[in-house]
Amino acid sequence: MTADKFRSLALEIPEATESSHMNHPDFRIDGKIFASLGYPDDRHGMVKLTPEQQGIFLKKAPMVFSPCAGSWGRQGSTSVHLAAAKVDLLRAALEAASKNVLSRKKAATGKAPEKKRTP
């Protein structure tokens, strides 16, 4: 897995956009980060999972996934070792992380986010 492939998989998520936070590329839906690249170094990415999801991915692929440092990791932020990651597994983690962002938006507003219409 390369950083460019991680990027392309993240941007396959409907409504995902690339931005930057603290000099690292990140991927957002409606302004909320669900994944990033380059932390803690260029060999890693990150997906924002729930602690339960994190546990599942850690069991499936302990050479790929590990908790991020400190409270971020305890809250589900999960480091992805790019060289060890496979496309299908990373795609599943990115989809889970993006759905978490969407479900938080739904909980905050009491409704699902509106779909953007194209002319």
Domains in the chain: boundaries: 3-105
pLDDT at position 22 is 82
Bond from prior residue into 67 cis (ω within 30 degrees of 0): no
Average pLDDT over residues 64-80: 97
pLDDT of residue 108: 58
Each residue of 13-35: pLDDT tens digit?
A: 999 999 998 889 999 999 999 99
Fold of 3-105: Aspartate Aminotransferase, domain 1 (3.90.1150)
For the chain, percent of residues with pLDDT exceeding 90: 81
* pLDDT score of 33: 96
pLDDT of residue 71 exceeding 60: yes
